[in-house]
Amino acid sequence: MGLAERRTDLLSSPGANAELARDTIELRSVRGIPSQACNLMVVPLLEELAGWPPGSYAREPEAVYRDSLLARVVRFLRERFDLR
């Protein structure tokens, strides 16, 4: 299936897309979200995911980013392989 056909297919079935979006928001296990390609740069969220207190990124950006990346990878693997 070419890009044009895939785009047409996605646009023709908004119900499936809406269901995927709702399931993702409600933190249900879903397939089709490319979370491994996520480059998160929202500093408060980085700190929260990493388990660091607010303001830590300004003092230790590499450590906070590393810890948030590790947390995201662990969550991705748990979801991908259904490890709960």
- Please give the residue that has the higher pLDDT: either 42 or 17: 42
52 and 24 in a common domain? no
Q: Over range 39-64, report the average pLDDT.
A: 92
Assess whether 44 and 84 both reside in one domain: yes
pTM over 0.75: no
Q: Is 44 in the same domain as 78?
A: yes
45 in the same domain as 15: no
Amino acid 68 reads: S
Q: What is the mean pLDDT of residues 22-48?
A: 76
| Contact between 47 and 65 (Cβ < 8 Å) | no
- Closest Cα partner for 51 from 34, 71, 31, 36? 71
